[in-house]
Amino acid sequence: MAQKNKTISNPVNGQTITFLQTAADTQGQLLEMHAVYTAGSTEPPLHYHPTQAEDFVFETGEMHVKLNGQTRVCKAGETLHIPAATPHAMWNAGPEPASINWKVRPALDMEQFFEQVTGMAADGKIGPSGKPPFLQTALLANRFSNVFRMAKPVFPVQKVVFTLLSPIAYLAGYKSFYKKYSD
């Protein structure tokens, strides 16, 4: 379970997150994190958070941000606000580590999403692309669709496809939630 000062590290995408304030600390209003990205971290898929806004304060290094069809570089001292339901991706393509203060409002179960993906990466269940196998993605996408959606295809198509694939994913041994990652 996410708690204040808990740190999780994803060896695949080079991201380390320390939870500063969790949903439990803020009655669900805020998830605040300190994130560090290794140099040359992988670009995540273009995604959005349907009802959550994100605010970033870039502390060190530089981060590439894909937003509104453009890619820009954010450097130390800059801030960025991403409204809910806005497709985006963020990664460190720079030559040195980058750190950010990251706030998500409302918190919902975003911290569990991060714990699940990070735990799978640490256990070798996510390939070098940073994406889980397709059947695992179907289960995660269904479980966490309230906090994370891929930008394409449109959500109704994702929902139908992933719902149809879920029984197959369970039969293949995948789970939508691994308790050990959120203990």
Burial bucket for residue 70 (CB in 10 Å: 0-12, 13-18, 19+): exposed
Q: Which residues pair with 71 in a beta bridge?
A: 66
Give residue limits of the domains in the chain.
Answer: 7-110, 111-182
79/18 Cα distance (integer angstroms): 19
DSSP codes of every residue in the chain: ---TT-EEEETTTTEEEEEEE-TTTTTTS-EEEEEEE-TTPPPPPPEE-TT-EEEEEEEESEEEEEETTEEEEEETT-EEEE-TT--EEEE--SSS-EEEEEEEES-TTHHHHHHHHHHHHHTT-S-TTS---HHHHHHHHHHTTTT-EESSS-HHHHHHHHHHHHHHHHHTT--S--GGGG-
Q: What confidence score (pLDDT) does residue 137 get?
A: 94
87/13 Cα distance (integer angstroms): 19
Q: What confidence score (pLDDT) does residue 3 get?
A: 93
The owner of tokens 């198509």 is 157
CATH fold of 7-110: Jelly Rolls (2.60.120)
Q: What confidence score (pLDDT) does residue 43 get?
A: 87
111/39 Cα distance (integer angstroms): 24
Q: What confidence score (pLDDT) does residue 129 get?
A: 80
- Given a cut of 50, the residues of the chain with pLDDT beneath it are none
Q: What confidence score (pLDDT) does residue 41 get?
A: 86
